[in-house]
Amino acid sequence: MNNFWADRNVFVTGASGLLGSAMVESLVAKQAHVTILLRDWVPSSHLNRGGMLDHVQIVRGELEDAPTLLRAINEYEINTVFHLGAQTIVGTAHRSVPSTFESNIRGTWNLLEACRACHRLVERVVVASSDKAYGVHPDLPYTEDTPLQGTFPYDVSKSCADLITFSYYHTYQLPVAVTRCGNLFGPGDLNYNRLIPGTIRSVLRGKPPVVRSDGSFVRDYFFVRDAVEAYLLLAEHLPDHGTVGEAFNFGNEQPMSVLDVVTSILTALQRTDLTPVVLNEATHEIPRQYLDCTKARTRLRWQPSHSFEAGLVETIAWYRSQLGDGTTQ
């Protein structure tokens, strides 16, 4: 399967995001013909600054625009879809529920309906979900059989999108699979409201990192390049029995508290003299969540290539290259 992606027509939504830009970079390297959906022009994005836009076909539009999605898949004769586009920030969802639901829920059914209309073209669809789709459960880690019961706006949007995706499989046999990952991190993430980018930038500037919560929230932090390889592997198995119509958890199964992550960054940057500022202001977030990835290991023979620590080394190196080492900040 080494040449699986060569000359395949692939459509990527959310291509300017952390996962999307890394996905596009990998697909281009594998000689796929990549078409992306681009809503906003962000000059500082990793996709733009990395020169990837010169190697892809660009469709300008948004997930809420159903005719644009249908046109893109039909005219570019797409056979593989990675639906990575979404409003992904919990705080943004809390401030603007309608826009989050429009993007994450309506956007998902718009895309799936376009794929259904072009079913003679589309051979596989991978829909990016999140561990947030499971909601709050006392029993951890989450398996794929854990009920989807999101409570807060972002979590509900992902629960709904998952159910809609499976509806298209069971009703129309659309060749879909759903991925649920932990918190992604890695080179190219310019959203400094997220814990890891924000902490690295603060420390490089010699400032104490700021923690919005009380620091005890537990998550599974997953290196973005491992996520890309997981998505590609899953897509390569579609529409095989045991993968089509299924959800898969992906993560490194190394749950960490917020303060553990901050401490790891301070140690890696040799700035343990900086004391985190704990605001304890976070609301409407799940206190503890992490994943069981047994299904991916057994059915796909998948495992991550990076530990959290190894991924953090690469991530810090990238931010140093972008922001400097802090001596001139």
| Direct distance between the N- and C-terminal alpha carbons of the chain, in angstroms, rounded to an integer | 47
CA gyration radius for the chain?
19
Q: Hey, what are 28's tokens? A: 């281009």
Closest CA to 13 of 109, 122, 128: 128
Catalytic residue among 134, 154, 168, 290: 154
- Which residues are paired to 35 by β-bridges? 11, 57
Cβ atoms < 10 Å from Cβ of 109: 18
Q: Is residue 154 annotated as a catalytic residue, yes or no?
A: yes
In the chain, count H helices and then E strands: 12, 13
CA 309, CA 323: separation in Å to the nearest integer? 21
**Residue closest to 63 by CA, chosen among 45, 81, 51, 47:** 81
CB atoms within 10 A of CB 284: 13
Positions annotated as catalytic residues are: 154
